[in-house]
Amino acid sequence: MRIEHLRERSDLGVISAGTLKSLGVSNPWRKCVPGGPWQRMYPGVVLLHNGPPTPDQHLTAALLRAGPGAVVTGAEACRRHDLPARGTEIHLLVPGAQRGSGPLVLERASPIPPTTNVGGFPVVSPARAVTDACRFLRTPDEATALIAAAVQRNRCTITDLAAEARTNRYGTKLVRSVLKDLGRAESVAERDARRLSRRIRLTTPHWNTTIAGQDGLVIARPDAWYDDVGLAWEIDSRAFHLGPRDYDRTLARNARYAAAGILVLQTLPTRLRDHPEAVARELKAALRAAAARPRPPVHVVEVT
């Protein structure tokens, strides 16, 4: 049979050995030997070329291996939701008992969680994807970075993640620990800022608090706000603010701070991590400078 006809019966060039045999290819594995025209992706799954598979071909082959009803979760699902997951495994939830091989993880789930169609693939919600991806991470910082990205990119909320961790407790100790430690912080750097502030005894109850002017218009929502002197501390993470829109928003925010007479200390997460003592000195100096001038007429917007 001509290869063009086989490709028409395949999905992105991925096809089952059973289908090939039904089309007259009695021994497809002969063509999957080193140097052959095809390659074996998983048991019973063939890719009709011998070059590197694309991510979509990898996922198509994994779903074909898993069988009907399989859905995508974990790191691969995070990537499909445009989140920076580090894991290389393909993690699928399946309705029945299955066994994966190599980087393919097949996990029985009952019931199968709801999915959405993302690029033609059945993908679980971002909250479920992040929760499952964190099960394969080793450190709180890795988990915090992924959770921060999901929250800041509006893929899900801390509440969504906490609900998933409660519902699917197996292997979610790291997620639950990070969520508890993170509180309202949205990045590793912000968590570190809280710890530094406590250590040097410059604590404040105002984290991620909205600040408004006398006219009631919102000025900003600083990472930390020292209300007695009117100082804002912003942990401006390059990891989460690389896009041009984020840069424009940062410039506009700083302009509003200046117009309101608010002093603002900006700290890079890498500096906070690598040079905490220097950051501590800068924070203390900023507080002294803020205290040396009249406090601007701004106020905290109370959440009701």
Residue boundaries of the structural domains of the chain: 3-54, 67-182, 188-300
Q: Exposed, middle or buried, 213 (CB in 10 Å: 0-12/13-18/19+)?
A: middle
State the pLDDT at residue 35. Answer: 87
| pLDDT surpassing 50 at residue 241 | no
Residue 187 backbone dihedrals phi, psi, to 5 degrees:
-160, 165
Q: Any alpha helices (H) in the chain, and if so which ranges?
A: 3-9, 17-22, 55-66, 74-80, 126-134, 140-152, 158-167, 173-182, 188-199, 244-260, 269-274, 276-291
Rounded Cα gap, residues 31 and 25, in angstroms = 10
Rounded Cα gap, residues 175 and 12, in angstroms = 35
Rounded Cα gap, residues 256 and 215, in angstroms = 13
Average pLDDT, integer, range 286-302:
94
State the pLDDT at residue 228. Answer: 94
Residue 242's pLDDT band (cuts 50, 70, 90): very low
Which of 43-47, 117-121, 199-203, 208-212 has the least mean pLDDT? 199-203
State the pLDDT at residue 238. Answer: 47
Rounded Cα gap, residues 217 and 205, in angstroms = 22
| pLDDT surpassing 90 at residue 192 | no
State the pLDDT at residue 203. Answer: 82
Question: What percentage of the chain exceeds 70 in pLDDT?
Answer: 91
Q: Would strands 90-94 and 104-108 be described as parallel, antiparallel, or unpaired?
A: parallel
Helix 140-152 vs helix 126-134: crossing angle, to nearest 10: 170
State the pLDDT at residue 82. Answer: 94
Helix 158-167 vs helix 173-182: crossing angle, to nearest 10: 150
Q: Tell me the pLDDT of the chain averaged across its residues.
A: 88
State the pLDDT at residue 3. Answer: 78
| pLDDT surpassing 60 at residue 28 | yes
Q: Which residues of 155-171 are buried (b: 16+ CB within 10 A; e: fewer)?
A: bbebebbbebbeebeee
Q: Which residues contact 65 (CB under 8 A, 6 or more apart)?
A: 41, 42, 43, 44, 45, 100, 104
State the pLDDT at residue 131. Answer: 95
Structure tokens at 106: 């097949």
Q: Rg of the chain's alpha carbons, rounded to an integer?
A: 26
State the pLDDT at residue 26. Answer: 86
Q: Which residues contact 12 (CB under 8 A, 6 or more apart)?
A: 54, 56, 57, 60
More confident residue, 128 or 142: 128
- The SS3 of residue 225 is strand
CATH match of 188-300 with 3.40.960: yes
| pLDDT surpassing 90 at residue 282 | yes
pLDDT tens by residue, 202-236: 888 899 899 999 999 999 999 999 999 999 999 87
pTM here? Answer: 0.65
| pLDDT surpassing 80 at residue 147 | yes
Rounded Cα gap, residues 12 and 47, in angstroms = 9
